[in-house]
């Protein structure tokens, strides 16, 4: 215990690393939901037989954009997107820059989860909404999204947990945060204390996210 | 009043054309309940989808009080749909909404004022007997209560026509009757035009004033309940007044001719069988029978065996003179057809669905 408090690296760099990790996860989670949710809705409603079938556009977005992005390993995608981060935020270093590649890496993942959640909404409910005179937007906003909300929250939870893992990787190429701390001090300087503390912190963070997500999802579920 | 004229719907499956509806015509006056009965695959679901405009019919027309629905432009389709309230087999309520929220749903779509919605929701829930359940979620309600919410929701847009697609098929017998009575009561009070699509003969018997039999996309029989039930040769009469399939009691009977007799209305009040026995001085044996009140009239359907010395043509003539349908039963083809419909009053489709 004493070693933890007397460790100079932990005392100096740990608070900053925690803040950086939370920044990366927070910013990229925000943008992932902001873009991934509409993208998932789009993927679901444009399939043949969907609410607004657009088979060709759906194929292009689904196969080319989503599948290709998802098939690139995150470690590679991250490095490949450094120029884009520089273009968007002016720098390739720091948690904000890392959030660019983090968001782009998880948006297609989240969109796929959203698509699956919406597919699980019983078709009879969509029929009922259409028969009572809903517009397509009303079917989406008043039936599809509210009816799948518990599942959507669970999907978002899974995505944020994935982001915590990715953010540690992003730390290695300039993102900072707990990943960088563990690598620089724990691995390269053989500081076992730093390594253990960061691992424990990441585990605690993931647990907190998972438990909170499950609690919200349960409290929204009236089935 | 809803009028369906020569409705056709053809689906394309690859190169094959599937005719789901082949010239269906119906007319249901305001304030009455019309039943549409048919096996699975007869075209019931397609008919529902065409009536609600979820599918466009290939040709033909659907009109409510003279307003044509089937040819409205896409931009007017939503207003047209609001003239039809629909009740589904599984209620199809939104799980994320309370009973009140579900009933409010159709009114929210047209952005009705909040206080107006609240008043109307309370009124409708009271109408279907669910006062005090405003804040209950569908998962907290029984199947019958969920269907009541479904009915209240269907009425929220003040429709002229209530379309019920298998409204009781997922309910137990007691709840079925409660829901049917509710539909009948609402039809009277709100002067609705009601179409009930079902595979249960019980539903037709209990609430329908008229009925159509749908088979292979065509209406093969149609008319007021009392009318179709009094025709001994109609499939609907056989389904409405089914005779149990009985094994002949061996040794107990003389080998005499078997007659099928159907009496209704005034004829049902007379002691026909004893009349025949006295008039011809013969013995009669009732093999099977079913007696029902349909559309406010008494009906009886009997299978009777005469002694082998009896003059069957004379007996048939005697019965027909008294306005009673009667015919010789017992040919094998006839028996096969009879047994097809025999247990039909419980579950029409389950017994006969795939036999054709």
In chain A, the residue whose alpha carbon lies closest to the alpha carbon of B135 is A222
Residue B321, CA distances (Å) to A161, B278, B315 in order? 86, 16, 10
Q: Which residues of B touch A123 (CB under 8 A)?
A: none
Residues sharing a CB contact under 8 Å with residue B276, sequence separation 6 or more, in sequence order? B282, B284, B315, B318, B319
Measure in Å the smallest separation between the Cα of B238 and chain A Cα atoms: 34
Domain spans, chain A: 2-220
Residue B34, CA distances (Å) to A221, B223, B334 in order? 39, 9, 29
User: From the candidates B92, B108, B112, B136, which should be mutated to test the interface with A, based on the most A CB atoms within 10 A?
Assistant: B92
Measure in Å the smallest separation between the Cα of B288 and chain A Cα atoms: 43
A50-78: pLDDT as tens digits: 899 999 999 999 988 888 888 888 888 88
Averaged pLDDT for residues B236-244: 82
B326-343: pLDDT as tens digits: 888 754 344 444 433 333
Looking at the complex, does the CB of residue B82 fall below 8 Å from at least one CB of chain A?
Answer: yes
Averaged pLDDT for residues A179-206: 88
Contact A125 B78 (CB under 8 A): no
Judged on CB neighbours under 10 Å (0-12, 13-18, 19+), A210 is middle
Pairs of residues, one from chain A and one from chain B, whose beta carbons lie less than 8 Å apart: 66
The pLDDT value given to residue B246? 60
Percent of chain B surpassing pLDDT 90: 43
Residues sharing a CB contact under 8 Å with residue B222, sequence separation 6 or more, in sequence order? B26, B210, B211, B212, B213, B228
CATH of domain B2-229: 3.40.50.300
The pLDDT value given to residue B334? 44
The interface residues of chain B toward chain A in range 180-209, judged by CB-CB distance below 8 A, are: none
Nearest CB to A133 within list B81, B93, B139: B81
Helix (H, G, I), strand (E, B) or coil at B328: strand
Averaged pLDDT for residues B22-42: 91
The pLDDT value given to residue B330? 58
Q: Please check whether residue A51 is in contact with residue A134, taking contact to mean a CB–CB distance below 8 angstroms.
A: no
Contact B52 A147 (CB under 8 A): no
Order of strands, sheet of B258-264, starting from the edge strand that comes earlier in the sequence: B284-294, B297-306, B258-264, B325-328
Contact A222 B137 (CB under 8 A): yes
Overall residue count recorded for chain A in this entry:
223
Structure tokens given for B343:
């247990």
Residue B74 has pLDDT above 80, yes or no: no
Residue of B101 and B318 predicted with greater confidence:
B101
- Distance linking the first and last C-alpha atoms of chain A: 47
Q: Which residues of B touch A135 (CB under 8 A)?
A: 78, 109
CATH 3.30.70.260 is the classification of domain B235-352: yes
User: Nearest 5 degrees, angle CA A23-CA A25-CA A6?
Assistant: 65
Q: Where are the alpha helices (DSSP H) in chain A?
A: 2-6, 8-45, 55-59, 68-71, 74-80, 82-89, 95-119, 123-131, 136-139, 145-170, 177-181, 192-220
Contact B81 A132 (CB under 8 A): yes
Band of pLDDT at residue B156, cut at 50, 70 and 90: very high
Residue B300, CA distances (Å) to A51, B244, B303, B332, B338 in order? 51, 13, 10, 23, 16
User: From the candidates A117, A121, A133, A135, which should be mutated to test the interface with B, based on the most B CB atoms within 10 A?
Assistant: A133
Residue of A144 and B309 predicted with greater confidence:
A144
Looking at the complex, does the CB of residue B83 fall below 8 Å from at least one CB of chain A?
Answer: no
Choose the CATH number for A2-220 among 1.10.645.10, 3.30.2290.10, 1.10.3720.10, 3.40.50.80: 1.10.3720.10
Look at residues B85, B98, B143 and name the one whose alpha carbon lies nearest to residue B125: B98
Contact A146 B153 (CB under 8 A): no
Nearest CB to B92 within list A127, A133, A142: A127
Q: Please check whether residue A92 is in contact with residue A85, taking contact to mean a CB–CB distance below 8 angstroms.
A: yes
Contact A147 B138 (CB under 8 A): no
The pLDDT value given to residue B251? 54
A71-99: pLDDT as tens digits: 888 888 888 888 998 999 888 888 899 99
Tell me whether strands B84-87 and B161-165 are parallel, antiparallel or unpaired.
Answer: parallel
Look at residues A111, A118, A120 and name the one whose alpha carbon lies nearest to residue A62: A111
Residue limits of CATH 3.30.70.260 in chain B: 235-352
Averaged pLDDT for residues B273-281: 83
Q: Please check whether residue A139 is in contact with residue A126, taking contact to mean a CB–CB distance below 8 angstroms.
A: yes
The pLDDT value given to residue B347? 41
The pLDDT value given to residue B332? 39
Nearest CB to B157 within list A132, A149, A223: A132
Looking at the complex, does the CB of residue B56 fall below 8 Å from at least one CB of chain A?
Answer: no
Q: Please check whether residue B298 is in contact with residue B291, taking contact to mean a CB–CB distance below 8 angstroms.
A: yes
Return the CA Rg of chain B.
24
Average pLDDT of chain B, as a whole number: 84
In chain B, the residue whose alpha carbon lies closest to the alpha carbon of A123 is B92
Residue A77, CA distances (Å) to A70, A101, B91, B246, B347 in order? 9, 7, 48, 77, 61
User: From the candidates B93, B109, B169, which should be mutated to test the interface with A, based on the most A CB atoms within 10 A?
Assistant: B109
* Secondary structure element (H or E) that encloses residue B288, with its range: strand B284-294
Residue A220 has pLDDT above 60, yes or no: yes
B224-234: pLDDT as tens digits: 988 888 888 88
Measure in Å the smallest separation between the Cα of A105 and chain B Cα atoms: 32
Looking at the complex, does the CB of residue B160 fall below 8 Å from at least one CB of chain A?
Answer: no
Looking at the complex, does the CB of residue B328 fall below 8 Å from at least one CB of chain A?
Answer: no
B193: DSSP letter? E
Q: Please check whether residue B35 is in contact with residue B204, taking contact to mean a CB–CB distance below 8 angstroms.
A: yes
């Amino acid at each position: 215990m004493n070693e933890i408090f007397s460790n100079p690296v932990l005392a100096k760099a740990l608070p900053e690393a925690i803040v950086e990790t939370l920044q990366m996860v927070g910013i990229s989670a925000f943008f992932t939901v902001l873009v991934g949710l509409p993208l998932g809705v789009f993927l679901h409603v444009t399939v043949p037989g969907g609410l607004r079938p657009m088979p060709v556009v759906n194929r292009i977005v689904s196969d080319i954009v989503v599948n290709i992005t998802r098939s690139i390993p995150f470690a590679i995608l991250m490095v490949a997107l450094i120029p884009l981060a520089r273009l968007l935020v002016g720098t390739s270093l720091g948690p904000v820059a890392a959030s660019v590649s983090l968001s782009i890496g998880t948006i297609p993942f989240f969109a796929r989860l959203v698509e699956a959640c919406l597919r699980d909404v019983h078709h009879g409910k969509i029929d009922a909404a259409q028969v009572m005179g809903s517009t397509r937007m009303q079917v989406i906003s008043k039936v599809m999204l509210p009816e799948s909300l518990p599942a959507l929250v669970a999907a978002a939870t899974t995505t944020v947990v994935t982001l915590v893992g990715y953010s540690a990787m992003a730390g290695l190429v300039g993102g900072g945060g707990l990943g960088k701390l563990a690598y620089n001090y724990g691995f390269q300087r053989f500081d076992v204390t730093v390594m253990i503390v960061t691992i424990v912190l990441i585990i605690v963070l993931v647990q907190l996210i998972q438990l909170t997500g499950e609690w919200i999802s349960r409290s929204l579920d009236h089935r | 009043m809803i009028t369906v004229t020569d409705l056709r719907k053809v689906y394309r499956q690859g190169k094959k054309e599937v005719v789901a509806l082949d010239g269906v015509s119906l007319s249901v006056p305001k304030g009455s309940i019309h039943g549409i009965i048919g096996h699975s695959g007869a075209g019931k679901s397609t008919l529902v989808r065409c009536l609600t405009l979820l599918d466009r019919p290939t040709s033909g027309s659907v009109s409510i009080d003279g307003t044509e629905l089937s040819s409205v432009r896409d931009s007017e389709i939503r207003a047209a749909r609001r003239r039809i309230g629909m009740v589904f087999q599984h209620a199809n309520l939104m799980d994320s909404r309370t009973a009140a929220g579900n009933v409010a749903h159709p009114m929210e779509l047209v952005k009705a004022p909040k206080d107006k919605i609240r008043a109307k929701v309370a009124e409708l829930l009271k109408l279907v007997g669910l006062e005090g359940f405003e804040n209950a979620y569908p998962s907290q309600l029984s199947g019958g209560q969920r269907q009541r919410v479904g009915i209240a929701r269907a009425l929220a847009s003040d429709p002229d026509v209530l379309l019920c697609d298998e409204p009781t098929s997922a309910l137990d017998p007691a709840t079925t009757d409660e829901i049917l009575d509710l539909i009948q009561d609402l039809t009277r009070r709100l002067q609705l035009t009601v179409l009930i699509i079902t595979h249960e003969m019980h539903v037709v018997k209990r609430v329908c004033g008229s009925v159509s039999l749908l088979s292979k996309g065509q209406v093969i029989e149609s008319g007021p309940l009392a009318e179709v039930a009094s025709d001994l040769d109609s499939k609907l009469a056989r389904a409405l007044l089914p005779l149990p399939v009985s094994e002949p009691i061996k040794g107990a009977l003389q080998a005499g001719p078997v007659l099928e007799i159907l009496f209704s209305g005034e004829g049902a009040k007379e002691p026909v069988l004893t009349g025949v026995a006295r008039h011809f001085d013969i013995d009669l044996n009732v093999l099977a029978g079913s007696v029902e009140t349909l559309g406010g009239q008494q009906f009886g359907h009997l299978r009777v065996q005469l002694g082998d010395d009896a003059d069957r043509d004379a007996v048939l003539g005697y019965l027909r003179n008294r306005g009673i349908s009667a015919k010789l039963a017992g040919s094998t083809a006839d028996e096969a057809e009879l047994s097809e419909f025999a247990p039909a009053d419980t579950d029409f489709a389950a017994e006969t669905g795939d036999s054709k």
